[in-house]
A and B are shown apart, each in its own frame.
Chain A
Amino acid sequence: MDMKRDYYEDVQLFTSGVVVFWMAIMLAALAIFPFLATSYYIYMANFLAINVIVVIGLNILVGYAGQVSLGHAGFFAIGAYGTVILMTEVHLPFLVALPLAGLIAAGFGFLLGLPSLRLEGPYLAIATLGFGLTITQIIGRIELFGGRQGLHTPELFIGPWHLESDRDFYFLLIPLTILLALTARNLIKTKVGRALIAIRDAEIAAETLGVNLMGYKTLAFAISAFYAGVGGGLYAFVLRFIEPEIFTLLMSIMFLAMVVVGGLGSIMGSITGACLLSWLDLQLRNILSIPYLGKWLEALSQEWFSITGVSNIQLIVFGAILVLIMLFEPLGIFGFWIRAKKYWKTWPF
Chain B
Amino acid sequence: MTFFSIDNLAIAFGGLQALQDIRFDVQAGEVFAIIGPNGAGKTTLFNCINGIYRPDAGNIRFDGRNIQGLRPDQVARLGIARTFQNIELFANMTTMENIMLGRHVFMRTGLFRGAAMWGPRSFAGREERDHRRQVEKIIDLLRLQAVRGKLVGALPYGTQKMVELARALALEPKLLLLDEPCAGMTAEEKQDMIFWIKDIQNDLGITILLIEHDMRMVMDISDRILAINFGQPITIGTADEVRRHPEVLKAYLGEEDHRESAA
Contacts and interface: CB of A to CB of B under 8 A. Distances in A.
Contacts of A209: 73, 76, 81, 101-102, 104-105, 167, 171
28 contacts: A6-B120, A6-B129, A8-B129, A11-B117, A11-B125, A11-B128, A183-B116, A186-B115, A186-B117, A187-B111, A191-B107, A192-B109, A194-B104, A195-B104, A200-B92, A201-B93, A202-B90, A205-B90, A206-B90, A207-B52, A208-B50, A208-B72, A209-B101, A209-B171, A210-B77, A211-B104, A213-B71, A223-B111
Contact of B125 (A8, A187, A210): A8
A138 to B, nearest CB: 29
Contacts of A212: 71, 73
A205 B89 contact: yes
B54 interface: no
A6 B77 CA distance: 29
Nearest to A202: B88
Contacts of B82: 208
A190 B52 contact: no
Contact of B114 (A10, A190, A202): A190
A219 interface: yes
Contacts, number: 122
B110 A191 contact: yes
A326 to B, nearest CB: 20
Interface of B: 50, 52, 71-73, 75-77, 81-82, 84, 88-93, 96-97, 100-102, 104-105, 107, 109-111, 113-118, 120, 124-125, 127-129, 132-133, 136, 167, 171
Interface residues of A, number: 35
Contacts of B133: 7
A194 B106 CA distance: 14
Contacts of B115: 183-184, 186-187
Contacts of A187: 111, 114-115
Is chain A's binding surface mostly helix, strand, loop or mixed?
Answer: helix
A19 B125 CA distance: 20
B152 to A, nearest CB: 9
Interface of A: 6-8, 10-12, 183-184, 186-187, 189-195, 197-198, 200-202, 204-213, 219, 223, 265
A191 B76 contact: no
